[in-house]
Amino acid sequence: MSTRKQFLKDLWSQTVKELVKARRKLRDELYAAKMKHAVKGLKQTHSLREIKRKIARINTVLTVKIKSNYGNSRK
């Protein structure tokens, strides 16, 4: 199984709190990578794109889970 499919499977099995925690960790990782790239140059610049995509996937799963648990009304 590809790593992306495994990553998505893992996301769907997590709770909302775990997903928020994972998103925060990835945002911090993205910030650190951006700073490293700005100062010295990042050797693996593709990692920025991968981190952004992981954050987007987490956001998608979070939206679906929140809507299914709490309905469409946002407060």
Tens digit of each residue's pLDDT (9 = 90 or more) over 28-72: 999 999 999 999 888 888 999 999 999 999 999 999 998 988 777
1 pLDDT above the threshold of 80: no
Which pairs with CB-CB distance under 8 Å and at least 24 residues apart come from 48-56?
51/26, 54/7, 54/26, 55/23, 55/26, 55/27, 55/30
DSSP 73: -
Please, what's the largest Cα pairwise distance for the chain? Answer: 46
**pLDDT value of residue 60:** 94
Residue type, 3: T
**pLDDT value of residue 3:** 82
